Amino acid sequence: MTGVVAVVALSAGAAWAVLPDDAEDPAAATAADCSATEVATMGEAAELAVACGHDVAAIESYDPWSSLQATPDGFVRQVENAGAVRTDLSGAWEPVDPSIVKDPQTGELKIASPVYDVSLDADSPEKLISMSTDAGSVSMGLPLDLGESVVEGASVSWPVLNASGEAIDGALVRVDVQPDATGVTPVVEVANRDAYDEVAKSAGPGGLAFRVTTTSGLTVAPSGSADAGFEVRDGVGEKVFEGGRALQWDSSGATEPGAAEEPEPVPPAAGTVPDSGASLVDGAEAAPGLERSAGDTEANLELTTLSDRSLTLSPMRR
C-alpha cells in the first residue's frame, strides 16, 4: 500500500529549496530532462517538477519504506509504504526482490534483493539463517542435519535427515522470505506424530529448539511486546532485531494460528519465560523458552508438543 501522509509547502523558509525565478520559464522546461522521475536532491526535484509538470522524487530522501516527491505546484509530498519497496544494500537504490537464488558456481543460497544482508547455510544448521547490519549479526538455527535444498520463489525447504543421513518421511524445514524482503520466517513442518518423534530423536538430547546466536556486542532478551518473543539490542540498548513469539499448531484442523479458541491451560515447559505469553491454539502449546544472554552466547526458543496431530512450529518473524 502507498499513501500520502504529509504535504509541505516549499517556500523561502523551507528546509530543502527555494524555487528559482525562472522555474516556470519555457526555456527552463526545454532544457530540463522531463523523462526523469527522480533526481539526486530535493532542490533539483523542485525545479524539475515545476519545469516539467510532474512529480519528481529526491533520491537523498529515500529509505526502504518512504520518499519525498516535489510536485509541480511547489509542494513536497511524503510517500509512506506499508512494506519496504527499495534497498541500497548493493550501494545503489533498487527495488526489493524476495526471491531466493542459488549461485551456480558455489551453490550458495541468497535473497535476490533484500533490505538487510541475509545468508542461508544448511551446511551449518545451527546458523541456518544469519542477518547482519552495521551493529552486528544474529543467527538462528536448529540442531538438525538437512538434505538438498528445494527453492520455490521466495521459499526454500530442506528434508530433515536422521542419524543415518536418510530423509525423514514427512519432515522438512522451510524458510519463507517476507514479501518486502525485510526478514524471514523459519518453519519446521512434520506430517504426523511419527515424523515428529523422528525429528526430536535426530535433534539429540537437547531437544528440538530454535537457537539464537549473536556476535559480540549484541544482547538477546525476552521482549516486552505482546507481538514479539525476543529482541536483540546493541551496546547502547537500541533494538536491532526482533523475533516473533514461537507458535505451533495443528495444521490439519480448522483453527488457524492466533485464533481465539483456547484449549485447557497447560503449564509452560521447564526453563521457559512465564510472562512471555504462550500461544495456546487447538490443543497445542507453544512455550517460548528464551534465556537472557550476552554477545557470543546463545538462547533457545524451546517448544513442547502436546498434540498427536500434525503441527507447525514458526518461531521468528523479523
Per DSSP bridges, beta strands 38-39 and 56-58 are parallel
- For residue 7, pLDDT over 80 is answered with no
pLDDT tens-place string over residues 64-92: 999 999 999 999 999 999 999 999 999 99
C-alpha span between 245 and 230 (Å, rounded) = 7
Locate all alpha helices (DSSP H) within 135-233, ordered by sequence.
Answer: 193-203
pLDDT at 240: 85
C-alpha span between 58 and 215 (Å, rounded) = 36
When pLDDT is cut at 50, 70 and 90, the band that residue 227 belongs to is low
Residue indicated by cell numbers 547482519? 132
Bridge partners (DSSP) of residue 312 are 189, 249
- For residue 215, pLDDT over 50 is answered with yes
Q: What are phi and psi of 94, to 5 degrees?
A: -150, 160
User: Helix or strand or coil: residue 291?
Assistant: coil
Bridge partners (DSSP) of residue 166 are none
pLDDT at 228: 57
pLDDT tens-place string over residues 115-173: 999 989 888 877 899 888 888 888 888 899 999 999 999 999 999 999 999 999 999 99
C-alpha span between 80 and 45 (Å, rounded) = 18
Per DSSP bridges, beta strands 284-286 and 129-133 are unpaired
What is the percent of the chain with per-residue pLDDT over 90, rounded to a whole number? Answer: 37
pLDDT tens-place string over residues 171-214: 999 999 999 999 898 888 888 888 888 998 998 887 887 888 88
C-alpha span between 198 and 13 (Å, rounded) = 69
Would you give the DSSP letter of residue 198? H
Under 8 Å between Cβ of 78 and 4: yes
Residue indicated by cell numbers 537472557? 292
When pLDDT is cut at 50, 70 and 90, the band that residue 277 belongs to is very low
